[in-house]
Amino acid sequence: MHSLSIEVLLGRVIGLVIGFTLHEWAHAWTAYRLGDNTPYFQRRLTLDPRAHLEPIGILLALVAGFGWAKPVPVNPRAFYPNEKRGIVLVALAGPLMNLIIAFAVGILIRLMTAASIVEARIGLLSSGKLVDIGAGSSGFWTFIYNTLGTIVIFNLVLFLFNLIPLSPLDGYKIAVGTLPPEYSNWLIRYERETMFALMMLILIGAMSMGRLDLLWGILGPPLRFLYGLFTSFYPSFT
């Protein structure tokens, strides 16, 4: 297992606090705007990270790259007569917020490229660090790039991972609310099984030390594409 560099650890901490906090806040704000007062009474309509972060989820996210925050309680009946539409919009708001964060930080990296601070070329993700892409004799800008790049990667992972249609992820709620009744009913019937499937995918990847990481096989290609699209860098994740 590779040890984390300082800039990657810093990027994960910043990306985690911003990504998890705004992800859950987006759920709460969307539900509230659609007529559900539950997030308000649960004090989740705040940008204070303490209202959204879970200590164990934070630790796992920092160490393993996968973690969780406190889920926002939602009352679907408050969306009547459009309960399914409301659930889909609330579920979609979280991942979209992570995509917006990745895009915004990606703009900073593009500005660095435009100012010739860093060069836009292929780099390798080695030991958790994007290498061979920075310019500047002091290495300061390489440090900044690696920190910002990690924030982008972390939020893109949150975006893509949460769209997987397995319980309890946002993608499951989106699928249930948008698929034809025969398929959504099937997902609801086997909700516990889909949760078990997700746990197994994560465990297999962790126990195999990445050699049989099916989730990474699914998320890797779109992650690389979106990272390159947002930042102009196209890293090879190794």
Residues taking part in catalysis: 24
Triad 147, 150, 152: Cα angle to 5°: 115
Triad 75, 47, 69: Cα angle to 5°: 60
**Is the CB of residue 162 less than 8 Å from the CB of residue 170?**
yes
Total number of residues shown for the chain: 238
Give the residue ranges of DSSP H helices in the chain: 6-33, 38-41, 55-64, 83-114, 140-162, 170-178, 181-189, 191-207, 214-231
Among 204, 229, 228, smallest CA distance to 218 is for 204
